[in-house]
Amino acid sequence: MIRKVGQSIDALVVYRRDQPHPELHAFRWEGRRYEVSQTNFVHTEREGETIYLCYSVTSAGDHFHVRLNTRASRWTLEEMEMEP
């Protein structure tokens, strides 16, 4: 089951020279900090000229879908996964 969120978030990111995309380490949403314990999947999506990097991450046992607008350098929490 997916819960849509679609809210802007603050993100703590590391750019590694040997990684194809930045590593998301933590994000802040509604005043709470979430440490990313696992990056499950990263893929790109394109809307017109804008390329998004889509992250599926796990934090404290919860799963989140986070998206980086690479044009505007803005991070959004798109969805939260809940057990079906």
Partner 1 sequence: MSRWIVHLDMDSYFASVEQQAQPSLRGKPIGVTGKPTERSIVTAFSREAKRYPVTTAMPVWEAKKRCPDLLLVPGHPERYVETSRRFLEILKEYTVMIEVYSIDEVFMDVSQEAARRGGPVAIARDIQRRFRDALGPCITATLGIAPAGKAFAKLIGKRNKPNGVGLLRDEELPDLLRTTSVGEVCGIGPRIERRLNQLGIATLADLGTTSDALLRREFGVYGLFLRQLGLGRDPTPVIPYTEIPPPKSVGHSKTLPPEMRDVSLALLVLRELADKVAARLRRLGYVSRTIHCGFRTGILGPGYAKQATLALPSDDGETIYRACRSILDAIPVHPAEIALVSVSAANLLERGALPDALFEEDRRRDRLNGAVDTIRTRYGDGAIRLGTSLLLKPLPQHVGGFIQETWEFGPARGVG
Residue 17 interacting with partner 1 (CB under 8 A) = no
Site for partner 1 in 50-79 (CB under 8 A): 54, 56, 58, 63, 65, 67, 78-79
Q: 59 vs 26, 46, 73, CA distance in Å?
A: 9, 26, 22
What is the number of H-type helices and E-type strands within the chain?
Answer: 0, 7
How near is the Cβ of 65 to partner 1 at its closest, in Å?
Answer: 7
Q: Which of 20, 7, 16, 18 is nearest to 65 (CA)?
A: 7
Sites of contact with partner 1 (CB under 8 A): 1-2, 4, 6, 40-41, 43-49, 54, 56, 58, 63, 65, 67, 78-79, 81-84
